Amino acid sequence: MAKYLLLKHYRGGPAAVNDVPMDQWTPAEISAHMQYMRDFAARLEGTGEFVDGQALAPEGTFVRYDGEGRPPVTDGPFAETKDLIAGWMVIDVDSHDRAVELAGELSAAPGAGGKPIHEWLELRPFLSEPPTITE
Amino acid sequence: MDETLLRSLTPSVLGILVRRGIDFAAAEDAMQDALVEAVRVWPADPPRDPKGWLTTVAWRRFLDAARSDAARRRREDLVEEEPAPGAAPTVDDTLQLYFLCAHPSLTPSSAVALTLRAVGGLTTRQIAHAYLVPEATMAQRISRAKRTVSGLRFDRPGDVATVLRVLYLVFNEGYSGDLDLAAEAIRLTRQLAASIDHPEVAGLLALMLLHHARRAARTAPDGSLVPLAEQDRSRWDTRSIAEGVEILQAALARDQLGEFQAQAAIAALHADAPTAAETDWVQIVEWYDELAHLTDNPVVRLNRAVAVGEADGPRAGLAALATVDDALPRYTAVAAYLHERDGDLAKAARLYTEAAQQATNLAERDHLTRQAARLNSLGRR
């Protein structure tokens, strides 16, 4: 088994095919989208491949250490050009092929006009623990 | 087995152990062991005297733990003696536990966790699940909290307000997973109300009951939020409402108004309206005015602006909103709503979209996005 992180971006990735912001959809299209996402997560729980999923607020800040006795420096809000993560899902699957297959399904979630969004999702393998048997 | 009964015995048994001279942290550990044992043994062999059973088992567990640890010789000397009955309790043990677990030296998250465990009788695992953190993390949080309060005197009354804040936090967490934190908060507040006669304790209990009564109507089958005005009122729990109103009326009659009683009064006025259109908004505004006198919480003025919008029209609501700090969470959502009521749909849609971006939880974000979508699709027609 291998763990993968599926990253969804507010911005920063290539544009989706059906790239209409959600507030321009109809309420029924929003409901259909939410249902698709819930069904997807429930199905992965059913197959024993779901690990975790969270959504992130678009607001945030950069923080860094500024030396002994000084408060950390913050830099925010984010610039409009910054790559911005909207949320993630962690899956634990048997193969890279399976991870790609699932990411493809998630990207097919319906959007405006009830048609798939075709949004770009970022798929990143976790660095794993070293194996017990190495030779 | 009646797990609620089991858990309801926790604070009084723990109180007995502490009065026998065991320090709080050790007593609490022994109590958890006894609860685990009860869950194992009671279904097949229920005790005649559950409280006596728990006390005996917890006391034995404490003796075992103390004896097995040579470094605790001093404590062993203590327990070799016949257990002292303890000083005649001046303040109810259960009440003292509430004070201890909500002690101002604890952070809010620690106070919440310790209250759920030591007063609520929940296991660390249950609490960890409810707050979506690893069990080891919650165990650490609880043991640090116990260390913080273990040197404190057990017989001095604390501040009821700190206890109420902790219970309010538990209630507001809602529920996730198997454990219903809102129901647990109600149980704990009920138990507190039984040990202390205080109008604000009654006020908080009434507030919880009145809000809890609407829970089934608050979410649609697909999980989306249903705002108060659109809720199916036949799904409100009328028994819970009746109980909340009765408790509130008794509290108000004592004429010591507090924040929770005022909030409960507003909830009661909503509960009392057969339809959203029949809501007595004028009286609700008056209660918000009372509330504003009692607290300088800016959220009160934000909610008051909504009520003014309903009582005197959206223009009046927007005027009231103009005096509120626009950095408050949900400010933009309120502005969007009032502009929609005022007929400026384009502006309202824009504000709903903006409010969705500022939302701090998914359900609210989805709800606000839907509102924007609804107005935008009206505009396209």
Q: For B151-173, what is the HEC assignment?
A: CCCCCCCCCHHHHHHHHHHHHHC
Q: Which residues contact B186 (CB under 8 A, 6 or more apart)?
A: B171, B205, B208, B209, B212
User: Checking DSSP bridges between strand A73-75 and strand B179-180, what pairing results, if any?
Assistant: unpaired
Task: Count Cβ neighbours within 10 Å for each residue of B51-62 and write b for 16 or more, e otherwise.
Answer: eebbbebbbebb
What pLDDT is stored for residue B117 in this prediction? Answer: 94
Residues of A in Cβ contact (< 8 Å) with B351: none
- Check CB contact under 8 Å for B374 and A27: yes
Of B358, B366, B372, the CB nearest to A34: B366
- Per-residue pLDDT band for B292 (boundaries 50, 70, 90) equals very high
* Mean of all residue pLDDT scores within chain A: 93
Does residue B322 surpass a pLDDT of 80?
A: yes
Structure tokens that stand for B378 in this block: 């009206």
Task: Name the residue ranges covered by the structural domains of chain A.
Answer: 2-125
Q: Rg (Cα) of chain A, in Å, rounded?
A: 18
Q: On the CB side of A47, how many CA atoms lie within 13 Å of its CA?
A: 13
Per-residue model confidence as pLDDT tens digits over A34-88: 999 999 999 999 999 999 999 999 889 999 999 999 999 999 888 888 889 999 9
Does residue B179 surpass a pLDDT of 80?
A: no
Other CB atoms within 10 Å distance of the CB of residue B258:
21
A31 touches chain B (CB under 8 A): yes
Per-residue model confidence as pLDDT tens digits over B124-160: 998 998 888 899 999 999 999 999 998 787 667 788 9
B349 touches chain A (CB under 8 A): yes
Q: Which residues contact A75 (CB under 8 A, 6 or more apart)?
A: A61, A62, A63, A64
CB B173 within 8 A of CB B228: no
- Per-residue pLDDT band for B173 (boundaries 50, 70, 90) equals confident
Average of pLDDT values for B289-306?
A: 94
Mutate to test the interface with A, among B370, B375, B378 (most CBs of A within 10 A): B370
Average of pLDDT values for B272-299?
A: 95
B297 touches chain A (CB under 8 A): no
Rounded Cα–Cα distance for residues B351 and B349 (Å): 5
* DSSP per-residue letters across B286-351: HHHHHHHHH---HHHHHHHHHHHHHHH-HHHHHHHHTTS-TTSTTHHHHHHHHHHHTT-HHHHHHH
Does residue B118 surpass a pLDDT of 50?
A: yes
Return the higher-pLDDT residue of B185 and B96.
B185
CB B251 within 8 A of CB B207: no
Residue of B nearest to A58 (CA): B357
- Check CB contact under 8 Å for A30 and B358: no
Residue of B nearest to A60 (CA): B358
Of B373, B374, B377, the CB nearest to A22: B373
CA–centroid distance for A56 within its chain = 10
Cα dist from B369 to B151, B159, B376, whole Å: 51, 42, 10
- Check CB contact under 8 Å for A27 and B357: no
* Mean of all residue pLDDT scores within chain B: 89
Does residue B82 surpass a pLDDT of 60?
A: no
Percent of chain B at pLDDT > 90 equals 69
A106-110, B85-89, B209-213, B318-322: which has the minimum mean pLDDT? B85-89
Rounded Cα–Cα distance for residues B32 and B54 (Å): 10
Structure tokens that stand for B171 in this block: 């209630």
Residues of A in Cβ contact (< 8 Å) with B365: 55
Return the closest-CA partner of residue B15 out of B143, B118, B146: B118
**At residue B5, what is the residue type?**
L
Rounded Cα–Cα distance for residues B55 and B60 (Å): 9
A47 touches chain B (CB under 8 A): no
Q: On the CB side of A41, how many CA atoms lie within 13 Å of its CA?
A: 13
Rounded Cα–Cα distance for residues A93 and A104 (Å): 14
Rounded Cα–Cα distance for residues A104 and A102 (Å): 5
Its CATH class, for the domain covering A2-125, is alpha beta
pTM of the model: 0.87
Does residue B95 surpass a pLDDT of 90?
A: no
What pLDDT is stored for residue B231 in this prediction? Answer: 96
**At residue A5, what is the residue type?**
L
3-state secondary structure of A127: coil
CB B336 within 8 A of CB B313: no
What pLDDT is stored for residue B158 in this prediction? Answer: 81
Burial of A93 (0-12, 13-18, 19+ CB in 10 A): buried
Burial of B213 (0-12, 13-18, 19+ CB in 10 A): buried
Structure tokens that stand for B144 in this block: 């640090």
What pLDDT is stored for residue B85 in this prediction? Answer: 47
A39 touches chain B (CB under 8 A): no
Sign of the dihedral defined by the CA atoms of residues B171, B177, B180, B185, in that order: negative
Rounded Cα–Cα distance for residues B47 and A73 (Å): 61
Does residue B169 surpass a pLDDT of 70?
A: yes
- Check CB contact under 8 Å for A26 and B377: yes
The DSSP H or E segment spanning A2 is strand A2-11
What pLDDT is stored for residue B74 in this prediction? Answer: 57
Average of pLDDT values for B309-321?
A: 97
- Per-residue pLDDT band for B88 (boundaries 50, 70, 90) equals very low
Rounded Cα–Cα distance for residues B183 and B2 (Å): 16
CB B328 within 8 A of CB B334: no
Other CB atoms within 10 Å distance of the CB of residue B292:
16
Mind telling me how many Å the CA of A107 is from chain B's nearest CA?
19
- Per-residue pLDDT band for A5 (boundaries 50, 70, 90) equals very high
Does residue B72 surpass a pLDDT of 60?
A: no
Q: What is the 3-state secondary structure (H, E, C) of B65-102?
A: HHHCCHHHHHHHHHHHCCCCCCCCCCCCHHHHHHHHHC
Residues of A in Cβ contact (< 8 Å) with B372: 23
Residue of B nearest to A35 (CA): B222
Return the closest-CA partner of residue A10 out of B231, B161, B365: B365
Q: What is the ipTM of this complex?
A: 0.88
Does residue B45 surpass a pLDDT of 50?
A: yes
Q: Which residues contact A19 (CB under 8 A, 6 or more apart)?
A: A117, A119
- Per-residue pLDDT band for B68 (boundaries 50, 70, 90) equals confident
Of B222, B362, B377, the CB nearest to A31: B222
